[in-house]
Amino acid sequence: MNLIDYGRIILRRGWIIVLLAILTAVSAYVISRGQTPVYRSTQLVLIQPARTDLGLTEALIRLMQSYRVYLSSTDRAQEIIDTLDLDMTPDDLLAAATFNADRDRLTMQIDVDLTDGELANDIAREWGNLLVAYRARENQTVRQEDRITALLVDRPQYGLIRPNVMINTIAGGLIGFGLGAILIFALEYLESAIVRRRDDIERSLGLPVLSTIPE
């Protein structure tokens, strides 16, 4: 088929593409609006060595992953549950949290995903305080110049992470558009054996049509 044929198909059946795109976009919008929103609270903890020489900094970099292991234990989760009087198990709480150690910036990022944004803030901040307290205890056993301090970087902030109604709606519309395009060309393929115009005869037989009988 040439470009004229494609254009003719789109003009004749383009409404199918438009209809499917609208239906899938509306469906995605309705489903997204009906989902329970989930918010993510992020607390950054800055890890600072008492001096910036290579030895202490390298030791701190090696310790970053151990801090992650410390925070992600069920004992730490239980401490937070007891402190905030939460109605959940340590496993449930750990499932809602992620810990990422950035060895380049010397920070620990604590993310908490919950349907209650303010509660997520409280939990993320309390988890950060656990690391601050842990470093304070460890510093009591070392000299001043060898200490490593943990500090909370600002207050935690939460934001909506899902559902993203706009992106879901756009994605739904694009999927509908693609399905509509596949459908109309599938219909054309199924009907391609039906002869409607003299062009169809010439293309099939490879011979010119000399005349036609009017209806």
Q: What is the pLDDT of residues 144-168, one digit of tens each?
A: 887 888 999 889 989 998 888 899 8
Q: What is the pLDDT of residues 85-140, one digit of tens each?
A: 999 999 999 999 999 988 888 889 999 999 999 999 999 999 999 999 998 998 89
Model pLDDT, residue 39: 96
Mean pLDDT of 192-202: 56
Model pLDDT, residue 206: 56
Q: 3-class DSSP state for residue 189?
A: helix
Instruction: Please tell me the distance from the alpha carbon of residue 191 to that of residue 195, in angstroms, as a whole number.
Output: 9
Neighbours of 148 (CB within 10 A): 19
Go through 37-48 and write b for each residue having 16 or more CB atoms within 10 A of its CB, e for each that does not. Answer: ebbbbbbbbbbe
Vertex 161: Cα angle to 155 and 163 (nearest 5)? 150
Whether 180 is in a domain gets the answer yes
User: Residue 80 above 70 pLDDT?
Assistant: yes
CATH number at residue 71: 3.30.70.1130
81, 93 in Cβ contact below 8 A?
Answer: yes
Shared-domain flag, residues 30 and 136? no
Domain count, the chain: 2
Range of the domain at 65: 38-162
Shared-domain flag, residues 25 and 118? no
Model pLDDT, residue 40: 95
Q: Which parts of 55-178 are beta strand (E)?
A: 97-102, 107-114, 148-162
Give the predicted TM-score (pTM) of the model. Answer: 0.72
Q: What is the pLDDT of residues 4-38, one digit of tens each?
A: 766 777 777 788 888 999 999 999 889 988 889 99
- Asked if the peptide bond before residue 214 counts as cis, ω within 30 degrees of 0, the response is no
